[in-house]
């Protein structure tokens, strides 16, 4: 993919005098240094962009060729015409439809419930006063440090006990709400739900839940959308826990099906990478559509220095 070449930088004054802020520039963007970066910076960034995109592009190239094309003296660099045959082969080899369906159910449910439950808790922490709220919130943040991956064996036994082994509940229920989500929505409520509105609703005799539903939730809609996206991606991409607790033949997710494509007697790269391309496509498309908000979100959520 050709990277968009940026416009050449505005001619900078050759002598290094203190730059005056340009009135045209938005005040929200704060950058270091006064001078416009030179071609070197754009060149470096372009190289990084190419490196970022190349594996995905390569995956698409291989996906659109037959397997023998990969085994050539010099690897092909342009897409071929076998994409649809390869896609058909993926669907013949593994139950990709079922996997997509399962992944959609899992990621969709987890995203919706995360937004809703995190918003409830975030609203409580940001706008309600109750004894112990401070240290309960510290506890929430602290749980982010607990490596849940290490508890998988008892978790697995628990799921068997509940009769959830091999069922989607096993991946959905533990992910219904997350500390990150609570943290995120608390931040959102702090920023966008004015105290006055809450007071007004209270004076009007609104119950807490009604205030949440009619005042807070509509106000944090943009942040909720970003959280939904991030959660959806995380759930869609999850691998370790579904691998442990789901039955790959009965209830695969997209990631499990992809990993199965990789473990054959001989490696059919074009099959493998067609699967990989299909598996990342939904998330990459979503990301490209919403990149502005997600990048803005990541920047907001970062720990301030």
Partner 1 sequence: MVASTTPPETPQRPTPSRQREPWRERLARWDLRGTPYLLILPFFLVFMAFGLFPLLYTGWVSLHDWHVVLGDQGFVGLANFATLMSDPNFWNALFNTLSIFLLSTIPQLLAALGLAALLDRRLRGRTFWRAGVLLPNVVSVVAVALVFAQLFGRDYGVINHVLGWFGVDPVNWRSGTWTSHFAISVMVVWRWTGYNALIYLAAMQSVPRELYEQAEIDGASRWRTFWSITVPSIRPTIVFTVLVSTIYGLQLFAEPQLFDPKGTAGVGGNSREFQTVTMYLYEEGVRLGDAGYGSTIAWALFLIVLVFALINFRLSRRIASKD
Residues 191-220 binding partner 1 (CB under 8 A) are 198-199, 202, 205, 207-209, 212
Residue 239 binds to partner 1 (criterion: CB under 8 A): yes
* Cα atoms found within 13 Å of the Cα of residue 97, Cβ hemisphere only: 4
For partner 1, the closer CB: 47 or 88 = 47
Q: Does 47 bind partner 1 (CB under 8 A)?
A: no
Nearer to partner 1, 88 or 146 (CB): 146
Q: What is the end-to-end Cα distance of the chain in Å, rounded?
A: 35
Total of chain residues touching partner 1, rule CB under 8 A:
116
Which is closer to partner 1, CB of 18 or CB of 81?
Answer: 18
Place of tokens 């592009």: 57
Q: How far is the CB of 56 from partner 1 (least distance, A)?
A: 7
Looking from the CA of 93 toward its CB, the CA atoms found within 13 Å total: 20
Cα–Cα distance between 138 and 179 in angstroms, integer? 10
Residue in 11, 16, 20, 204 binding partner 1, rule: CB under 8 A: 16
Interaction residues for partner 1, span 255-274 (CB under 8 A): 255, 258-263, 267, 269, 272-273
61-120 residues in contact with partner 1 (CB under 8 A) are 62, 70-72, 74-75, 117-118, 120
29 touches partner 1 by CB under 8 A:
yes
**Residue 89, both tokens:** 């082969």
- Give buried/exposed letters for 92-130 (b at 16+ CB in 10 A, else e): ebbbbeebbebbeebbbbbbebbbbbbbbbbbbbbbeee
Question: Considering beta carbons, is residue 193 or 294 the nearer one to partner 1?
Answer: 294
Interface of this chain with partner 1, residues 134 to 193, rule: CB under 8 A: 136, 140, 143, 145-158, 173-174, 176-177, 179, 182
Nearest CA to 86 out of 63, 68, 55 is that of: 63
Binding flag, residue 221, partner 1 (CB under 8 A): no
- Cα distance between residue 137 and residue 134, in whole Å: 5
> In the chain, which ranges are continuous DSSP H helix?
39-63, 67-70, 83-93, 96-127, 133-143, 152-161, 169-172, 179-192, 195-203, 208-211, 217-219, 221-237, 240-245, 254-262, 269-301
Q: Which residue, 13 or 30, is less far from partner 1 as judged by CB?
A: 30
**Residue among 85 and 169 whose Cβ is closer to partner 1:** 169
Considering only 101, 187, 192, 300, the residue that binds partner 1 (CB under 8 A) is 300
State which of residues 6, 163, 218, 222 lies at the interface with partner 1 (CB under 8 A).
6
Toward partner 1, which CB reaches closer, 18 or 78?
A: 18
Residues in the chain, total: 305
The reply on whether position 2 binds partner 1 by CB under 8 A is no
Q: How far is the CB of 227 from partner 1 (least distance, A)?
A: 14
* Main-chain dihedrals φ then ψ at residue 193, nearest 5 degrees: -105, 105
DSSP at 44:
H
- The residue (of 84 and 267) whose beta carbon lies closer to partner 1 is 267
């Amino acid at each position: 993919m050709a990277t968009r070449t940026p416009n050449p930088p505005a001619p900078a004054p050759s002598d290094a005098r203190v730059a005056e802020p340009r009135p045209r520039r938005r005040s929200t963007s704060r950058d270091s240094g006064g001078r416009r970066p030179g071609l070197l910076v754009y060149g470096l960034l372009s190289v990084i962009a190419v490196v970022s995109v190349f594996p995905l592009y390569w995956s698409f190239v291989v996906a659109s060729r037959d397997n023998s094309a990969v085994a050539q003296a010099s690897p092909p660099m342009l897409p071929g015409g076998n994409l649809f045959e390869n896609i058909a082969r993926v669907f013949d080899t593994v139950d990709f439809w079922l996997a997509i369906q399962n992944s959609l159910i899992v990621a969709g449910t987890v995203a919706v419930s995360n937004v809703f439950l995190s918003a409830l808790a975030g609203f409580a922490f940001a706008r309600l006063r109750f004894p112990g709220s401070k240290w309960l919130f510290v506890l929430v943040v602290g749980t982010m440090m607990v490596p849940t991956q290490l508890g998988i064996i008892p978790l697995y036994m628990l799921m068997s006990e509940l009769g959830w082994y091999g069922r989607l509940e096993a991946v959905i229920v533990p992910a219904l709400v997350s500390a990150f989500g609570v943290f995120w929505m608390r931040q959102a409520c702090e920023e966008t739900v004015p105290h006055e509105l809450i007071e007004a609703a209270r004076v009007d005799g609104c119950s807490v839940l009604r205030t949440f539903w009619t005042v807070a939730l509509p106000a944090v809609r943009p942040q909720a959308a970003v959280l939904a996206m991030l959660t959806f991606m995380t759930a869609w991409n999850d691998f370790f826990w579904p691998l442990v607790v789901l039955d790959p033949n009965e209830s695969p997710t997209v990631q499990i099906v992809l990993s199965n494509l990789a473990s054959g007697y001989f490696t059919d790269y074009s099959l493998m990478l067609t699967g990989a391309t299909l598996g990342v496509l939904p998330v990459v498309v979503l990301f490209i559509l919403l990149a502005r908000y997600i990048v803005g979100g990541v920047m907001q959520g970062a720990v301030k220095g």
